[in-house]
Structure 1
Amino acid sequence: MKNRVSFYVVAALIVLGVLGIAVSVFSDPAGVLRTVAISAIVIAIVYFLITRVTSSNSGNKENRAFKQAARKSKKRFMKKDATSSASRKTKTASLTSIKKPKKKSSVQLTVIEGKKSKRKNRASL
């Protein structure tokens, strides 16, 4: 019974709202356009402020640090490839002194500051 009453109340409010908008459009169309324009401007300003505030979070800083580390790593890797290919061309392996070079890892790890205090609770299975 409660559901039926609340449905009628909500339906009546919606009908009255639509009726009020229709009357205001016919009586003062310029006022309705002005109200819509002001509402759009206010919503745009609020959206702009919210995106500015949320973009200054640490997630953006972490993302920027990750991109910078990736760029450095890529430059370092490209530099190593260029020097190693040039040295390979100049060096010709003689048959008498063939030594297997020790393979160095080309991975350069960079520490990126972030949220390290948050840990997974592995005991909750």
Structure 2
Amino acid sequence: MKNRTSAYIVGVLIILALLGLYGSFTADPAAFLQKIAVFVLIGLVIYFVVRKFSNSSPQKKEQRAFLKAARRSKKRLQHRSGEPNAKGSTLGTLTTLKKGKAKKKPPAHLTVIDGKKGKKKNRASF
């Protein structure tokens, strides 16, 4: 019953608002459009001010870190694909060969914890 009453009140308020907008538009269309434009501009200014001064979320920090890493990777790839000089090309190939041979996977730092596997729960105690 309470939900119907609030729905009726909201419906009446929406109808009154639409009638007010229609009356304002028919009385002076230029002033109505000017008011709408001012409301939109104020809304945009508030939106950009809030967005500018809002606290940075962790997602934004992660996004910035990702973009920074992408720029570094792109710069590294451009540096490799560029015109290498003789000294740099021999060093580059030697380091890649050394890395390929000596690279090992680091051991996973996981341990197995032995629990009470043999003991069964007494389900009647719940």
**1:116 aligns to what?**
none
1:15 maps to a residue whose letter is I
Whole-angstrom CA distance in 2 between matches of 1:79 and 1:27 = 68
Shift of 1:32: 0.7
Identity %: 37
Bigger relative contact order, structure 1 or 2 (CA pairs below 8 A, ≥6 apart): 1
Structure 2 unmatched ranges of 5 or more:
104-126
Q: Deviations over 1:3-62 (max 9, x none)?
A: 2222221111111111111111111111211110100110110111122123x7275555
Alpha-carbon distance between aligned partners in 2 of 1:76 and 1:8, rounded to the nearest angstrom = 65
Hey, which of these two has a bigger chunk of helix by percent?
2
Corresponding position: 1:86 with 2:85: no
- For residues 60-75 of structure 1, the aligned pairs below 5 Å read 60=60, 63-72=63-72, 75=75
TM-score (norm 1): 0.53
Equivalence for 2:22: 22
1:46 aligns with 2:49: no
Q: Distance in 1 between matches of 2:6 and 2:70?
A: 57
Count of residue pairs the alignment pairs up: 94
CA distance in 1, matches of 2:98, 2:2: 83
Paired amino acid for 1:87: T
- TM-score using structure 2 length: 0.53
Gapped runs of 5+ residues in structure 1? 92-99, 106-125
